[in-house]
């Protein structure tokens, strides 16, 4: 009897091709699309077409309320507290590998799958199933996946883990006459289709931006800002100030309602503290551990030492200073290609 697997289908090319690959591997595939936000009808429609074409069952899981509570509200709250959030991490944590896993059990599926570029396999070193980086380094999405429950890893399959490139994925879609073959990749934040997060916050946040001062570290006032939600660490453009050398946002001070700016050199730091830690390859950090870490999705991994501190927090000290370490973003730890864990930068 074929093993049943529930595949998360976004209506895009990656998850659609995942369905083809899983069928070829002999699974009984059931497709499921999460209804998350106002603009998901097109995604649901595209996913249904693919399922019909491939002759597989399709379900719509209404997660709008959970998505609003866990992702949207957290996104707004983080910005209101002068942090730069990463909603994809929260969505994976609570929905794609939370509510989705529950639905799989309800439908009698042994496994769940998504179109993410990542891998799962058993590690002799860690004596458990681990999350690993995709063979497609440029598309690797493990940075967003560090918060999946470690207990689920052995039941998660990423069908695209051995795809050489996105072009190869599209060719499979074309070969199988899937309408989504040429569909554009989705933008990073699915609920902000125009990528204008400031407009989104103006519409949905109860807090209205308060004008304040843009200052140097010594308190020298250089100009006015339009509200802290409009700025992020490392930002250079749109500051509306003039100075003898280029200035960047180096800190957002919510108590004083100030945007603090400095030279590019001031953006670099060797240390950070993170909370909300989720360990995948280990159960607990009991002593300092040498690893590599990324402080944002597009950043390069850097050598560091991770120290356990109180309240399930860690202190990370890098061998070399890192640029624009940003509160609200995630720091993700790697041992070669294995994701050891991660947490939120505070």
Summarised one tens digit per residue, pLDDT across range 126-172 is 999 999 999 877 889 999 999 999 999 999 999 998 875 778 889 99
* Residue 246 pLDDT: 96
* Residue 187 pLDDT: 64
* Residue 272 pLDDT: 98
* Residue 341 pLDDT: 98
Catalytic residues: 91, 190
Start-to-end C-alpha separation, the chain = 49
* 333 touches 272 (CB < 8 A): no
* Residue 164 pLDDT: 59
| Tens digits of residue pLDDT in 229-263 | 999 999 999 999 999 999 999 999 999 999 999 99
| Tens digits of residue pLDDT in 19-50 | 999 999 999 999 999 999 877 888 999 999 99
- DSSP bridge partners of 49: none
- The residue ranking higher by pLDDT, 73 or 184, is 73
Cα 343 to Cα 346: distance, rounded to the nearest angstrom:
9
Secondary structure of the chain as H, E, C letters? CCCEEEEECCCCHHHHHHHHHHHHCCCEEEEEEEECCCCCHHHHHHHHHHHHHHCCEEEEEECHHHHHHHHHHHHHHHHHCCCCCCHHHHHHHHHHHHHHHHHHHHCCCCEEECCCCEEEEEECCCCEEEEEECCCHHHCCHHHCCCCCHHHHHHEECCCCCCCCHHHHHHHHHHCCCHHHHCCCCCCCCCCCCCCHHHHHHHHCCCCCCCEEEEECCCCEEEEECCHHHCCCCCCCCCCCCCCCCCEEEEEECCCCEEEEECHHHHEEEEEEEEEEEECCCCCCCCCEEEEEECCCCCCCEEEEEEEECCCEEEEEEEEEEECCCCCCEEEEEECCEEEEEEEEC
Mean pLDDT on 268-297: 97
Query: Which pTM was predicted?
Result: 0.94
Residue 285 pLDDT more than 70? yes
* Residue 127 pLDDT: 98
* Residue 183 pLDDT: 83
Sign of torsion, CA 234 237 241 245? positive
| Tens digits of residue pLDDT in 77-101 | 999 999 999 999 999 999 999 989 9
Alpha-carbon dihedral of residues 108, 111, 112, 113, nearest 10 degrees? Answer: -140
Residue 188 pLDDT more than 80? no
Residue 186 pLDDT more than 80? no
Nearest to 109 by CA among 62, 151, 51, 156: 156
What mean pLDDT, rounded, does the chain reach? Answer: 94
**Ordered domains of the chain (ranges, CATH):** 4-115+159-182 (3.40.50.620), 209-262 (2.30.30.280), 268-345 (2.40.30.10)
* 331 touches 261 (CB < 8 A): no
Cα 163 to Cα 316: distance, rounded to the nearest angstrom:
33
* Residue 166 pLDDT: 77
């Amino acid at each position: 009897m074929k093993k049943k697997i529930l595949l998360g289908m976004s209506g895009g090319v990656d998850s659609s091709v995942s369905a083809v690959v899983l069928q070829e591997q002999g699974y009984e595939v059931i497709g499921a699309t999460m209804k998350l936000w106002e603009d998901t009808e097109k995604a649901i429609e595209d996913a249904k077409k693919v399922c019909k074409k491939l002759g597989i069952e399709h379900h719509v899981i209404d997660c709008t309320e959970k998505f609003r509570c866990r992702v949207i509200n957290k996104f707004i709250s983080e910005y209101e507290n002068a942090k730069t959030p990463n909603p994809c991490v929260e969505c994976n944590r609570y929905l794609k590998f939370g509510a989705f896993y529950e639905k799989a059990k309800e439908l009698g599926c042994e496994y769940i799958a998504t179109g993410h570029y990542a891998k799962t396999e058993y590690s002799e070193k860690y004596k458990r199933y681990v999350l690993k980086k995709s063979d497609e380094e440029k598309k690797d999405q493990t940075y967003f996946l560090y918060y999946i429950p470690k207990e689920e890893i052995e039941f998660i399959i990423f069908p695209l883990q051995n795809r050489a490139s996105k072009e190869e994925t599209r060719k499979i879609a074309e070969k199988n006459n899937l309408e989504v073959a040429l569909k554009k990749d989705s933008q990073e934040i699915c609920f902000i289709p125009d990528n204008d997060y400031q407009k989104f916050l103006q519409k949905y946040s109860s807090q209205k931006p308060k004008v304040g001062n843009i200052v140097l570290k010594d308190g020298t006032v250089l100009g006015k800002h339009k509200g802290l939600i409009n700025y992020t660490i490392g930002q250079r453009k749109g500051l509306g100030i003039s100075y003898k050398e280029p200035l960047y946002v180096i800190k957002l001070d919510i108590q004083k309602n100030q945007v603090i700016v400095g030279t590019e050199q001031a953006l670099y730091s060797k240390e950070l503290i993170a909370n909300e830690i989720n360990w995948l390859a280990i159960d607990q950090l009991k002593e300092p551990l040498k690893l590599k870490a990324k402080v944002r999705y597009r950043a390069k991994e850097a050598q560091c030492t991770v120290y356990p501190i109180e309240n399930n927090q860690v202190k990370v000290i890098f061998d070399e200073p890192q640029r624009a370490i940003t509160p609200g973003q995630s720091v993700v730890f790697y041992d070669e290609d294995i994701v050891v864990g991660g947490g939120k930068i505070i």
